Structure 1
């Protein structure tokens, strides 16, 4: 992503929600401020969908989170559920990772397979050959699946705790960097662990 696009994305999903809350809360109360804070990321995500006919991962989290938090509000939930709009989705994804870990093909297997298939026509065949031929490969993918599940669930729990302890304005400013810390740590660990996995497999597996 280009620097300008990244800055615009950050502004729409983090800076503008905070500014919207500061503007709306004195006029409409905390509930109105929290609802106003959900408008910029919603507009941005819909604009990206219309312009590119696709939704990136962050926009998907925002859209799904706003939908889930809106449902929670309609069912009588606290207005601060809007503060957790992204984490509601990432927490559910993390739970799906955890629940799929004991099965023969965890969620990460299917995500990785879809990724390599997009990258090259025969990528999926090579990936499935590795999966079938090397128990170590299956074990390490299962471990990565577990770590991602634990990390996403932990991020949701931390943000949920802070959402009910901190004033909304502080939460809107600080919590995105907490999420970036979790996601960055998971991504960095994944790169390191993939390198270890590649080194542990026999040379013939690299050509599978």
Structure 2
């Protein structure tokens, strides 16, 4: 994936601006108010996308859902164990949504990929829709990626939840970041490798004399 201006803007609105809004609002509104303030940029971006393109931005929806879950988790209590669990709830919820979307006609990753392609090229959304209809291999690959990410994220949450509930807090604080970022990094590297492998298979098939499997 190339870092095109549209993609950079999308990432800034959905990740950088919520963080800035949170940091600026925290001293004045407290943690709950700051979290609510951090949801304003992705909500505004999603509304702009809805007006311009008649579609809801999937990445913005995921970011807002994560913020809502964080606010809800705060309402469960402020015990040290619950605070340790809170950051894992978001990735776990996303993982569950990935898995629940698998039986659907179009899994969650379809909308994320389509939104990205739409920003990378003119008519990208329509092109992606056409590829989805005409290439069963693409559908199978996207569903497999959805499955792997769903299992990975829910597994990461289950592991960190067990650690938060059973380990000493000091040990959890030291080890947990390595677990979380290690799993995210492994999933990202696997996705890049899988995409490269699938692309190589397609190139072999379209070469003169290639044999379709």
Q: Provide TM-score, normalisation by structure 2.
A: 0.64
Equivalent residue number for residue 69 of structure 1 = 73
Matched, 1:123 2:124: yes
- Between the two proteins, the alignment pairs up a number of residues equal to 165
- Of stretches 171-180 and 181-190 in structure 1, the one that deviates more from structure 2 is 171-180
Matches within 5 A, 1:27-176: 63-73=67-77, 79-176=80-177
Q: Provide TM-score, normalisation by structure 1.
A: 0.65
Distance change >3 Å, CA 99–CA 67, structure 1 → 2: same
Unaligned runs of 5+ in 2: 1-7, 9-15, 20-29, 46-58, 208-213
- Between the aligned partners of 2:171 and 2:36, the Cα distance in structure 1 is 24
Unaligned runs of 5+ in 1: 2-8, 13-38
- RMSD over aligned CA atoms reads 3.5
Distance change >3 Å, CA 60–CA 177, structure 1 → 2: farther
- Between the aligned partners of 1:189 and 1:161, the Cα distance in structure 2 is 25
Q: Deviations along 1:64-89, whole A, 9 cap, x unmatched?
A: 45313212228xxx641211222101
